Structure 1
Amino acid sequence: MAAGGEALKADDIGERAAKPAPRQERSQQTYERLLQVAGELLAEVGIERISTNQICARAGMTPPALYRYFKDKYDVLGALGRRLMDRQNAALFAWLDRHARGGPRALADATEELLRATAEVTASEPGAVWTLRALRAVPQLTHVRTESHRLVADRLTDFYAEFLPDVPRQALWRRLRIAVEFGFAADEMLTEETGVPRDEILREAAAMLRNAVRER
Protein backbone atom coordinates (compact mmCIF):
# COMPACT_ATOMS: atom_id res chain seq x y z
CA MET A 1 0.00 0.00 0.00
CA ALA A 2 1.42 3.37 -0.97
CA ALA A 3 1.64 6.24 1.47
CA GLY A 4 -1.56 8.17 2.06
CA GLY A 5 -3.70 5.04 1.80
CA GLU A 6 -3.55 4.89 -2.02
CA ALA A 7 -2.63 1.55 -3.58
CA LEU A 8 0.09 1.71 -6.22
CA LYS A 9 -0.46 -0.98 -8.86
CA ALA A 10 2.13 -2.24 -11.33
CA ASP A 11 0.23 -0.51 -14.13
CA ASP A 12 0.79 2.81 -12.35
CA ILE A 13 4.55 2.66 -12.82
CA GLY A 14 5.55 4.78 -15.78
CA GLU A 15 3.80 7.62 -17.53
CA ARG A 16 0.08 8.06 -16.90
CA ALA A 17 -2.24 10.49 -18.56
CA ALA A 18 -3.11 13.25 -16.13
CA LYS A 19 -6.45 15.00 -16.07
CA PRO A 20 -6.26 18.23 -18.08
CA ALA A 21 -6.30 21.53 -16.23
CA PRO A 22 -9.74 23.21 -16.26
CA ARG A 23 -10.50 26.13 -18.57
CA GLN A 24 -13.42 27.84 -16.83
CA GLU A 25 -12.37 30.65 -14.52
CA ARG A 26 -14.11 29.37 -11.41
CA SER A 27 -12.73 25.87 -11.94
CA GLN A 28 -9.28 27.30 -12.53
CA GLN A 29 -9.46 29.11 -9.21
CA THR A 30 -10.42 25.89 -7.42
CA TYR A 31 -7.67 23.99 -9.24
CA GLU A 32 -5.05 26.57 -8.27
CA ARG A 33 -6.33 26.63 -4.69
CA LEU A 34 -5.86 22.87 -4.44
CA LEU A 35 -2.33 23.11 -5.84
CA GLN A 36 -1.43 25.94 -3.48
CA VAL A 37 -2.65 23.96 -0.47
CA ALA A 38 -0.97 20.78 -1.72
CA GLY A 39 2.35 22.58 -2.09
CA GLU A 40 2.15 24.02 1.41
CA LEU A 41 1.19 20.65 2.85
CA LEU A 42 3.92 18.87 0.89
CA ALA A 43 6.51 21.18 2.48
CA GLU A 44 5.19 20.20 5.92
CA VAL A 45 4.75 16.42 5.65
CA GLY A 46 6.75 15.27 2.61
CA ILE A 47 6.00 12.93 -0.28
CA GLU A 48 5.24 9.79 1.68
CA ARG A 49 2.75 11.26 4.15
CA ILE A 50 0.77 13.65 1.99
CA SER A 51 -2.65 12.37 0.95
CA THR A 52 -5.67 13.60 -0.95
CA ASN A 53 -7.69 13.54 2.29
CA GLN A 54 -5.18 15.89 3.93
CA ILE A 55 -5.30 18.22 0.93
CA CYS A 56 -9.08 18.31 1.01
CA ALA A 57 -9.20 18.96 4.75
CA ARG A 58 -6.70 21.83 4.48
CA ALA A 59 -8.52 23.33 1.47
CA GLY A 60 -11.96 22.97 3.07
CA MET A 61 -13.21 20.79 0.21
CA THR A 62 -14.67 17.33 -0.10
CA PRO A 63 -12.79 14.46 -1.79
CA PRO A 64 -15.27 14.38 -4.71
CA ALA A 65 -14.41 18.02 -5.41
CA LEU A 66 -10.71 17.18 -5.63
CA TYR A 67 -11.30 14.11 -7.80
CA ARG A 68 -12.97 16.32 -10.40
CA TYR A 69 -9.48 17.66 -11.12
CA PHE A 70 -7.04 14.97 -9.98
CA LYS A 71 -7.08 11.19 -10.07
CA ASP A 72 -4.95 10.68 -6.95
CA LYS A 73 -2.16 12.28 -4.96
CA TYR A 74 0.39 11.45 -7.67
CA ASP A 75 -1.70 13.40 -10.15
CA VAL A 76 -1.57 16.35 -7.73
CA LEU A 77 2.21 16.03 -7.42
CA GLY A 78 2.52 15.85 -11.19
CA ALA A 79 0.47 19.02 -11.58
CA LEU A 80 2.67 20.76 -9.02
CA GLY A 81 5.70 19.63 -10.99
CA ARG A 82 4.34 20.84 -14.31
CA ARG A 83 3.43 24.22 -12.83
CA LEU A 84 6.90 24.64 -11.33
CA MET A 85 8.64 23.51 -14.52
CA ASP A 86 6.48 25.82 -16.64
CA ARG A 87 7.27 28.83 -14.46
CA GLN A 88 10.98 28.03 -14.39
CA ASN A 89 10.95 27.64 -18.17
CA ALA A 90 9.10 30.93 -18.61
CA ALA A 91 11.92 32.66 -16.71
CA LEU A 92 14.49 30.96 -18.93
CA PHE A 93 12.70 31.84 -22.17
CA ALA A 94 12.30 35.45 -21.06
CA TRP A 95 16.04 35.54 -20.29
CA LEU A 96 16.80 34.08 -23.72
CA ASP A 97 14.64 36.69 -25.42
CA ARG A 98 16.37 39.49 -23.49
CA HIS A 99 19.87 38.47 -24.47
CA ALA A 100 19.47 36.62 -27.78
CA ARG A 101 20.42 39.65 -29.89
CA GLY A 102 23.85 39.64 -28.32
CA GLY A 103 24.54 36.08 -29.41
CA PRO A 104 26.22 33.31 -27.40
CA ARG A 105 28.65 35.69 -25.70
CA ALA A 106 25.79 37.72 -24.24
CA LEU A 107 24.09 34.57 -22.96
CA ALA A 108 27.33 33.37 -21.41
CA ASP A 109 27.84 36.70 -19.64
CA ALA A 110 24.26 36.56 -18.28
CA THR A 111 24.37 32.94 -17.07
CA GLU A 112 24.37 33.85 -13.39
CA GLU A 113 21.38 36.11 -14.01
CA LEU A 114 19.48 33.09 -15.34
CA LEU A 115 20.40 30.93 -12.37
CA ARG A 116 19.22 33.64 -9.99
CA ALA A 117 15.94 34.09 -11.89
CA THR A 118 15.31 30.35 -11.76
CA ALA A 119 16.11 30.28 -8.05
CA GLU A 120 13.60 33.07 -7.42
CA VAL A 121 10.88 31.06 -9.14
CA THR A 122 11.72 27.96 -7.13
CA ALA A 123 11.75 29.90 -3.86
CA SER A 124 8.33 31.41 -4.63
CA GLU A 125 6.62 28.04 -5.12
CA PRO A 126 5.25 26.36 -1.96
CA GLY A 127 6.83 22.96 -1.39
CA ALA A 128 9.08 23.35 -4.44
CA VAL A 129 11.99 21.35 -3.03
CA TRP A 130 9.68 18.43 -2.26
CA THR A 131 8.01 18.75 -5.64
CA LEU A 132 11.43 18.43 -7.29
CA ARG A 133 12.23 15.42 -5.13
CA ALA A 134 8.94 13.81 -6.14
CA LEU A 135 9.74 14.28 -9.82
CA ARG A 136 12.93 12.31 -9.27
CA ALA A 137 11.77 9.73 -6.75
CA VAL A 138 8.32 8.71 -8.04
CA PRO A 139 8.64 6.59 -11.21
CA GLN A 140 5.36 7.71 -12.75
CA LEU A 141 6.34 11.38 -12.41
CA THR A 142 9.88 11.40 -13.83
CA HIS A 143 8.61 12.15 -17.35
CA VAL A 144 7.32 15.54 -16.14
CA ARG A 145 10.87 16.66 -15.44
CA THR A 146 12.53 15.04 -18.45
CA GLU A 147 9.96 16.31 -20.95
CA SER A 148 10.28 19.85 -19.60
CA HIS A 149 14.09 19.76 -19.69
CA ARG A 150 14.05 18.37 -23.23
CA LEU A 151 11.82 21.26 -24.27
CA VAL A 152 14.39 23.71 -22.89
CA ALA A 153 17.20 21.87 -24.67
CA ASP A 154 15.21 22.07 -27.93
CA ARG A 155 14.74 25.82 -27.57
CA LEU A 156 18.40 26.43 -26.76
CA THR A 157 19.54 24.20 -29.62
CA ASP A 158 17.43 26.22 -32.07
CA PHE A 159 19.27 29.33 -30.89
CA TYR A 160 22.83 28.02 -30.76
CA ALA A 161 22.63 26.08 -34.05
CA GLU A 162 22.72 29.38 -35.94
CA PHE A 163 26.03 30.34 -34.35
CA LEU A 164 27.64 26.87 -34.36
CA PRO A 165 26.88 25.55 -37.86
CA ASP A 166 29.83 23.13 -37.81
CA VAL A 167 28.57 21.32 -34.72
CA PRO A 168 26.13 18.50 -35.57
CA ARG A 169 22.70 19.30 -34.19
CA GLN A 170 22.49 16.01 -32.29
CA ALA A 171 25.82 16.69 -30.56
CA LEU A 172 24.77 20.26 -29.78
CA TRP A 173 21.46 19.09 -28.33
CA ARG A 174 23.27 16.52 -26.20
CA ARG A 175 25.61 19.13 -24.73
CA LEU A 176 22.74 21.49 -24.02
CA ARG A 177 20.60 18.75 -22.52
CA ILE A 178 23.39 17.96 -20.06
CA ALA A 179 23.87 21.67 -19.35
CA VAL A 180 20.14 22.05 -18.64
CA GLU A 181 20.24 19.15 -16.20
CA PHE A 182 23.26 20.65 -14.48
CA GLY A 183 21.62 24.06 -14.20
CA PHE A 184 18.52 22.67 -12.54
CA ALA A 185 20.66 20.49 -10.26
CA ALA A 186 22.42 23.66 -9.11
CA ASP A 187 19.00 25.19 -8.43
CA GLU A 188 18.07 22.24 -6.22
CA MET A 189 21.42 22.50 -4.45
CA LEU A 190 20.51 26.02 -3.34
CA THR A 191 17.63 24.62 -1.30
CA GLU A 192 19.53 21.72 0.24
CA GLU A 193 23.24 22.52 0.69
CA THR A 194 24.12 24.57 3.76
CA GLY A 195 27.88 23.97 3.56
CA VAL A 196 28.41 26.26 0.56
CA PRO A 197 27.25 29.91 0.52
CA ARG A 198 24.41 30.57 -1.89
CA ASP A 199 26.31 33.17 -3.91
CA GLU A 200 29.25 30.82 -4.36
CA ILE A 201 26.99 28.07 -5.70
CA LEU A 202 25.51 30.50 -8.22
CA ARG A 203 28.89 31.91 -9.21
CA GLU A 204 30.63 28.54 -9.61
CA ALA A 205 27.69 26.95 -11.43
CA ALA A 206 27.51 29.89 -13.83
CA ALA A 207 31.24 29.59 -14.57
CA MET A 208 30.84 25.90 -15.40
CA LEU A 209 27.80 26.50 -17.60
CA ARG A 210 29.58 29.17 -19.64
CA ASN A 211 31.80 26.44 -21.04
CA ALA A 212 28.95 24.08 -21.84
CA VAL A 213 28.52 25.24 -25.42
CA ARG A 214 31.58 25.87 -27.51
CA GLU A 215 32.88 24.59 -30.79
CA ARG A 216 35.19 21.60 -30.36
Structure 2
Amino acid sequence: MTPDPVRARAAGGHPRPTRAELAAAADRTIPDVLAPGLEVLFVGINPGLWSAATGWHFARPGNRFWPALHAGGFTPRLLHPSEQDELPAHGLGITNMAARASARADELSTEELLAGAAILADTVARHRPRWVAVVGVTAYRIGFQRPKAAFGPQPETLGDARLWVLPNPSGLNAHFTPVTLGLAFAELRVAAELPDRRTPTTT
Protein backbone atom coordinates (compact mmCIF):
# COMPACT_ATOMS: atom_id res chain seq x y z
CA MET A 1 0.00 0.00 0.00
CA THR A 2 1.31 3.45 -0.87
CA PRO A 3 2.34 5.46 2.21
CA ASP A 4 0.03 8.38 2.94
CA PRO A 5 2.12 11.60 3.14
CA VAL A 6 -0.41 13.31 5.38
CA ARG A 7 -0.51 10.38 7.80
CA ALA A 8 3.27 10.16 7.76
CA ARG A 9 3.61 13.82 8.68
CA ALA A 10 1.01 13.51 11.43
CA ALA A 11 2.93 10.58 12.88
CA GLY A 12 6.14 12.56 12.72
CA GLY A 13 7.82 9.89 10.59
CA HIS A 14 8.83 9.34 6.98
CA PRO A 15 8.35 5.67 6.10
CA ARG A 16 10.64 4.14 3.50
CA PRO A 17 8.80 2.43 0.66
CA THR A 18 9.37 -1.29 0.45
CA ARG A 19 10.85 -2.93 -2.65
CA ALA A 20 7.39 -4.11 -3.61
CA GLU A 21 5.96 -0.60 -3.26
CA LEU A 22 8.77 0.84 -5.37
CA ALA A 23 8.24 -1.77 -8.07
CA ALA A 24 4.51 -1.08 -8.08
CA ALA A 25 5.14 2.66 -8.46
CA ALA A 26 6.46 2.42 -12.03
CA ASP A 27 4.38 4.44 -14.51
CA ARG A 28 2.38 6.19 -11.78
CA THR A 29 1.90 9.94 -11.78
CA ILE A 30 1.94 12.35 -8.86
CA PRO A 31 0.19 15.72 -8.42
CA ASP A 32 2.01 18.90 -9.32
CA VAL A 33 2.66 21.58 -6.71
CA LEU A 34 1.07 24.60 -8.38
CA ALA A 35 -0.57 27.94 -7.70
CA PRO A 36 -1.34 30.95 -9.88
CA GLY A 37 1.39 33.54 -10.41
CA LEU A 38 4.36 31.68 -8.95
CA GLU A 39 7.77 33.31 -8.97
CA VAL A 40 9.55 30.12 -10.09
CA LEU A 41 8.12 26.85 -11.37
CA PHE A 42 10.72 24.08 -11.10
CA VAL A 43 10.40 21.35 -13.72
CA GLY A 44 11.83 17.93 -12.95
CA ILE A 45 12.47 15.37 -15.67
CA ASN A 46 9.94 12.83 -14.37
CA PRO A 47 9.09 11.29 -11.00
CA GLY A 48 11.37 8.57 -9.72
CA LEU A 49 9.97 5.47 -8.06
CA TRP A 50 10.46 6.93 -4.56
CA SER A 51 8.45 9.98 -5.56
CA ALA A 52 5.69 7.89 -7.11
CA ALA A 53 5.52 5.65 -4.03
CA THR A 54 5.33 8.55 -1.57
CA GLY A 55 3.62 11.28 -3.60
CA TRP A 56 6.53 13.65 -2.92
CA HIS A 57 8.68 15.29 -5.60
CA PHE A 58 12.44 14.66 -5.52
CA ALA A 59 11.85 12.18 -2.69
CA ARG A 60 14.64 9.66 -3.22
CA PRO A 61 17.29 9.78 -0.50
CA GLY A 62 20.41 11.23 -2.05
CA ASN A 63 18.53 13.56 -4.37
CA ARG A 64 19.90 17.03 -3.73
CA PHE A 65 17.01 19.18 -4.91
CA TRP A 66 15.75 20.18 -1.47
CA PRO A 67 19.22 20.95 -0.06
CA ALA A 68 20.06 22.98 -3.19
CA LEU A 69 16.77 24.86 -2.93
CA HIS A 70 17.65 25.88 0.61
CA ALA A 71 21.33 26.53 -0.11
CA GLY A 72 20.25 28.76 -2.98
CA GLY A 73 18.19 30.87 -0.60
CA PHE A 74 14.72 29.89 -1.88
CA THR A 75 13.49 28.46 1.45
CA PRO A 76 14.10 29.64 5.03
CA ARG A 77 15.08 26.13 6.10
CA LEU A 78 15.77 22.74 4.57
CA LEU A 79 12.41 21.21 3.73
CA HIS A 80 11.69 17.50 3.71
CA PRO A 81 9.96 16.32 0.50
CA SER A 82 6.81 15.70 2.56
CA GLU A 83 6.64 19.46 3.14
CA GLN A 84 6.37 20.28 -0.56
CA ASP A 85 2.98 21.96 -0.10
CA GLU A 86 4.77 24.80 1.72
CA LEU A 87 6.45 25.88 -1.52
CA PRO A 88 3.64 28.03 -3.00
CA ALA A 89 3.80 30.26 0.10
CA HIS A 90 7.34 31.09 -1.06
CA GLY A 91 6.22 31.63 -4.66
CA LEU A 92 7.55 28.25 -5.79
CA GLY A 93 6.06 25.19 -7.49
CA ILE A 94 7.05 21.86 -9.01
CA THR A 95 5.96 19.94 -12.09
CA ASN A 96 7.69 17.49 -14.46
CA MET A 97 8.56 17.28 -18.14
CA ALA A 98 7.10 13.77 -18.26
CA ALA A 99 4.40 12.63 -15.88
CA ARG A 100 5.02 8.89 -15.60
CA ALA A 101 7.39 7.53 -13.00
CA SER A 102 10.39 5.40 -13.90
CA ALA A 103 13.48 4.05 -12.19
CA ARG A 104 15.74 6.20 -14.39
CA ALA A 105 15.14 9.31 -16.48
CA ASP A 106 16.86 7.73 -19.48
CA GLU A 107 13.92 5.30 -19.74
CA LEU A 108 11.86 8.15 -21.23
CA SER A 109 11.48 8.38 -24.98
CA THR A 110 12.10 11.45 -27.10
CA GLU A 111 8.39 11.47 -27.93
CA GLU A 112 7.48 11.63 -24.23
CA LEU A 113 9.76 14.60 -23.65
CA LEU A 114 8.45 16.43 -26.72
CA ALA A 115 4.88 15.84 -25.57
CA GLY A 116 5.84 16.90 -22.06
CA ALA A 117 7.23 20.20 -23.29
CA ALA A 118 3.92 20.94 -25.01
CA ILE A 119 1.97 20.08 -21.84
CA LEU A 120 4.35 22.27 -19.83
CA ALA A 121 3.62 25.18 -22.16
CA ASP A 122 -0.10 24.75 -21.43
CA THR A 123 0.58 24.60 -17.68
CA VAL A 124 2.61 27.80 -17.85
CA ALA A 125 -0.12 29.54 -19.87
CA ARG A 126 -2.70 28.63 -17.21
CA HIS A 127 -0.68 29.41 -14.08
CA ARG A 128 1.57 32.19 -15.40
CA PRO A 129 4.78 31.76 -13.36
CA ARG A 130 7.43 34.45 -13.84
CA TRP A 131 10.24 31.94 -14.32
CA VAL A 132 10.35 28.29 -15.42
CA ALA A 133 13.44 26.38 -14.28
CA VAL A 134 14.02 23.03 -15.96
CA VAL A 135 16.09 20.79 -13.68
CA GLY A 136 18.15 18.83 -16.21
CA VAL A 137 19.80 20.13 -19.35
CA THR A 138 19.46 16.92 -21.40
CA ALA A 139 15.68 16.80 -20.94
CA TYR A 140 15.48 20.47 -21.87
CA ARG A 141 17.56 20.00 -25.01
CA ILE A 142 15.37 17.11 -26.17
CA GLY A 143 11.95 18.38 -25.10
CA PHE A 144 12.42 21.90 -26.44
CA GLN A 145 14.56 20.85 -29.41
CA ARG A 146 17.47 23.05 -28.31
CA PRO A 147 20.42 20.65 -28.75
CA LYS A 148 23.03 23.29 -27.86
CA ALA A 149 21.31 24.70 -24.77
CA ALA A 150 23.58 25.30 -21.77
CA PHE A 151 22.90 25.86 -18.08
CA GLY A 152 21.52 29.20 -16.97
CA PRO A 153 19.16 31.67 -18.67
CA GLN A 154 17.76 30.74 -22.06
CA PRO A 155 17.26 33.20 -24.93
CA GLU A 156 13.72 32.04 -25.60
CA THR A 157 10.69 32.33 -23.32
CA LEU A 158 7.84 29.94 -22.57
CA GLY A 159 4.80 32.10 -23.05
CA ASP A 160 5.43 35.08 -20.79
CA ALA A 161 7.78 33.15 -18.51
CA ARG A 162 11.57 33.43 -18.58
CA LEU A 163 13.38 30.10 -18.95
CA TRP A 164 16.35 28.84 -16.95
CA VAL A 165 18.12 25.47 -16.99
CA LEU A 166 19.53 24.04 -13.76
CA PRO A 167 21.70 20.95 -13.24
CA ASN A 168 19.99 17.67 -12.45
CA PRO A 169 20.16 17.31 -8.64
CA SER A 170 20.15 13.50 -8.77
CA GLY A 171 22.85 11.89 -6.69
CA LEU A 172 23.93 10.16 -9.92
CA ASN A 173 25.04 13.52 -11.36
CA ALA A 174 28.65 13.56 -10.22
CA HIS A 175 29.49 16.69 -12.23
CA PHE A 176 27.94 18.88 -9.53
CA THR A 177 28.63 18.85 -5.80
CA PRO A 178 26.13 20.01 -3.16
CA VAL A 179 28.03 23.32 -3.03
CA THR A 180 28.01 23.96 -6.78
CA LEU A 181 24.36 22.94 -7.01
CA GLY A 182 23.50 25.46 -4.31
CA LEU A 183 25.39 28.15 -6.19
CA ALA A 184 23.54 27.30 -9.42
CA PHE A 185 20.19 27.62 -7.64
CA ALA A 186 21.30 30.89 -6.01
CA GLU A 187 22.17 32.31 -9.43
CA LEU A 188 18.58 31.75 -10.53
CA ARG A 189 17.22 33.29 -7.33
CA VAL A 190 19.31 36.43 -7.85
CA ALA A 191 18.22 36.67 -11.50
CA ALA A 192 14.59 36.34 -10.41
CA GLU A 193 15.18 39.18 -7.91
CA LEU A 194 14.01 37.10 -4.97
CA PRO A 195 15.32 37.63 -1.44
CA ASP A 196 17.61 35.17 0.30
CA ARG A 197 15.11 33.50 2.64
CA ARG A 198 17.59 31.48 4.66
CA THR A 199 17.26 32.09 8.39
CA PRO A 200 20.40 33.81 9.64
CA THR A 201 22.32 31.77 12.19
CA THR A 202 23.00 33.44 15.51
CA THR A 203 26.35 33.22 17.24
Q: Same fold (TM over 0.5)?
A: no
Greater C-alpha radius of gyration = 1
| Bigger share in strand | 2
Higher relative contact order (CA 8 A, sep 6+): 2
